């Protein structure tokens, strides 16, 4: 939960500032800025989530 609040939500807000994808607009830079920290946060938060589902 802490990772979501401290990492994922701020990343979502920054990504939203780039606007809705439209033809002719290149979002490559936005993706580059967003993808690495997003994946790192998911690596941190996935194992505890999986453990809660496992008996």
* pTM, 2 dp: 0.63
With respect to residue 54, please indicate whether it lies within any of the assigned structural domains: yes
Task: Tell me if 19 sits within 8 A of 29, measured CB to CB.
Answer: no
With respect to residue 45, please indicate whether it lies within any of the assigned structural domains: yes
With respect to residue 23, please indicate whether it lies within any of the assigned structural domains: no
How many folded domains does the chain comprise?
1
Q: Where are the alpha helices (DSSP H) in the chain?
A: 2-3, 9-16, 28-53
* pLDDT tens, residue by residue, 10-51: 988 888 887 777 777 777 877 888 889 989 998 998 888 888
Integer Cα distance of 12 and 35 in angstroms: 11
Residue with tokens 């439209």: 22
Total count of residues recorded for the chain: 55
With respect to residue 41, please indicate whether it lies within any of the assigned structural domains: yes
Task: Tell me if 35 sits within 8 A of 12, measured CB to CB.
Answer: no
Domain containing residue 53: 1-9+28-55
């Amino acid at each position: 939960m802490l990772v979501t609040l401290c990492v994922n939500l701020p990343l979502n807000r920054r990504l939203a500032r780039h606007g809705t994808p439209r033809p002719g607009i290149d979002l490559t830079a936005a993706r580059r800025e967003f993808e690495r920290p997003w994946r790192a946060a998911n690596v941190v938060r996935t194992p505890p989530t999986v453990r809660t589902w496992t008996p």
